[in-house]
Structure 1
Amino acid sequence: MSQFRIALIVGSLRRESFNKKLADGLVRLAPRDFTFHHCEIGDLPLYNQDDDGHQAAPVKRLKHEIGESQGVLFVTPEYNRSIPGVLKNAIDHASRPYGQSAFAGKPAGVIGISVGAIGTAIAQQHLRNVLAYLDMPTLGQPEAFLQAKEGFFGADGHIGEGSQKFLQGWVDAYANWVRSHAG
């Protein structure tokens, strides 16, 4: 059985982030041939093109982690109707310098959760635009615009019973997407 290593990038630094909880819940639903590596993005310096020739150690680490993976899963909140700056910063670092993107060809999944009724729909669309430019085949369906409300997460932090079937379907679709696109 082949193993698929997935770089897991959560676009929130908040300690009690709903998106970190969602990411952990999705990992629990993944098939046994999938392993996930949480990529740290909070220690990256602000992107500056002047540094492309001598990238910082955290940038090199991120690029290596993505490069060693067969796919990337982005779990993002929505800030001001877009992706968080920390996520964009990580994407800019890992895709630079031009022609040396760690993302090229990596199958991607995009999901997120928010307290708002439309979840992270607009942030996900903005992120999909960026990923298209980065040459990442990105799972289009099913889409998942999740609202964090009472019962979404159980007391143990796991995904609640009412959302588990839907999210299992999403994880299964993502796993199949990776299997069909991973080199």
Structure 2
Amino acid sequence: MKSQEVFLRFIDHLKETIKLSDLDVDFVLKKLEIKKLKRKEYLIQPGDVSRYMRFIVSGCMRSFYLDENSQEHTLQFGIENWWINDLHSYLSRQPSRMYVQSIEKTVLVQIHRDNLESLYLEVPEIARFFRLKIQSAYVALQERTIENLSTNSYERYSNFRTQFRDIEQRLPQYVIASYLGMRPEFLSALKKKHVLDFS
């Protein structure tokens, strides 16, 4: 995929939410970088400070952390036209406690914090865009937290399949299991037990 096509996809994504003049687009394009990842390559690891906002142009990624027993817990995943980051590290400027890793070969558009801050002044609509995105991310996090506390494993997997039907086939089962808060063996047994429901 050529750089021009990568950047145009990003601009099209912005225009789904905000209005940008040709001059605005020129300002934005000057601040963008392209980042390419191989399959299973790490973008962020514990101890790194996230200094970029990152948009997935192609590929599939996830963020996860390891608990004291080295058990993986997937917090987020993302595919084309989604954003992925350690938002806590980005906003607090503190070292990350998590991993952000590609599941597939991935192409990202990223904007460094300093460049984004200048864009907020040059193109005020960009500030509006990111305010809406961060609000949306907070709502999604709260909804997921409540679901994890109030539903059983069957309901969580059933809701996952409904919400992410087009993505499920791209994710390894252990990633889905860790996202749902269960072990892969348990998810496998759950799918077998309810095979007719999930067919």
Question: Where on the TM-score scale, by shorter chain, does this alignment land: which range?
Answer: under 0.3
TM-score (norm 2): 0.26
TM-score by length of 1: 0.27
Structure 1 or 2, whichever has the larger Rg, is 2
Which protein is richer in helix relative to its size?
A: 2
